[in-house]
Structure 1
Amino acid sequence: MTYGHPLLDAMHAAAHGARVWHAVSLPLLQPGADAPPSPPEWVMLIPAGTFSGRDGRGPYTLDIEAVLAAFEQGGIDLPIDYDHQTLEADGKSGPVPAAGWIKELQAREGALWGRVEWTPRAAGLIADKEYRYLSPVFRHDKQGRVLSIEGAGLTHYPNLDLTPVAHQKGDPMPEDLFERLVMMLNLPATTTPDELVAELQKAIDQLATLKTEAQSRQPDPAEWVPMSQHKAVADELAKLQTQIAQEKAEAAVRAAMSAGKLAPAMKDWALSYASKDPEGFAHWCEKAPAILPPEGDKSAHRVAPNADTLTEEDRIACALLGMSEAEFAAHKKTLIKE
Structure 2
Amino acid sequence: MNAPHQAQPIEMRIARLAERRASHVVSLPLPPTPDLEPPEWVELVPAGTFSGRDGRGPFILDIDAVLAAFVKGGIDLPIDYDHQTLDADAKAGPVPAAGWIKELQARDGALWGRVEWTPRAAELIANKEYRYLSPVFRHDKRGRVLALEGAGLTHYPNLYLQPVAHTKGDTMDITLLAEALGAAPDADLDALVAHAKTLKEAASRQPNPAEWVPMSQHKAVAEELARLQAEIAAEKAEAAVRAAMSAGKLAPAMKEWALEYAKRDPAGFAAFVEKAPVIVSADAPVAAHSVAPNADALSDEERYVCAALGISESDFAAHKRAVVKE
TM-score (norm 2): 0.49
TM-score by length of 1: 0.47
